[in-house]
Amino acid sequence: MSSEGKKVKNSIIKAAKEQMKTQQWDYELTKERYLYLDTYIYMNRLGRDDNNIYKLLNDSLEKIVYDNDSRILTRTQKILIDTENPRVEVSLRPVEYIGIFDHEVKLHNFESNCMTCKRYSRNCSVLKKAKEGRIQEEINSELECNKYSLKK
């Protein structure tokens, strides 16, 4: 990394640490959930590429704001030109989906059904993989498990 890159990274880290002091952020959540990282970018001139910003930004925030940048879904919300004060403003929030489930209610409903299955007590691999976001033959498009077997 160039000396300019290191300088920018240190600046990002310092700003992030300051912001984290005033936020009620659940760092532990970032270990299991994906996050949207929404950015508002103020470039110093026209013609700059916003994609060049993300690797440095995401790496700088890792282990401070979130556990691993592989769980970050970066989105540019707006690009503006501010020659006097170029910057990136960042907003983070957890995505609604969990694994293959569109939202927590669908996961809860699926898992509630799992609790009545004999595979559940043995730490069901189908459920575990579904929570990880893995597509499986065992779960159909209606989110029904074809390995389900009622507990006796």
Reported as a pLDDT band with limits 50, 70 and 90, residue 113 is: very high
pLDDT of residue 122: 75
Cα 60 to Cα 65: distance, rounded to the nearest angstrom: 9
pLDDT digits (tens, 9 = 90+) for 42-60: 999 998 888 888 999 999 9
pLDDT digits (tens, 9 = 90+) for 61-79: 999 999 999 999 999 999 9
Are 113 and 148 contacting, i.e. CB atoms less than 8 angstroms apart?
A: yes
- Residue matched to tokens 């691993």: 68
- Confirm whether pTM is higher than 0.95: no
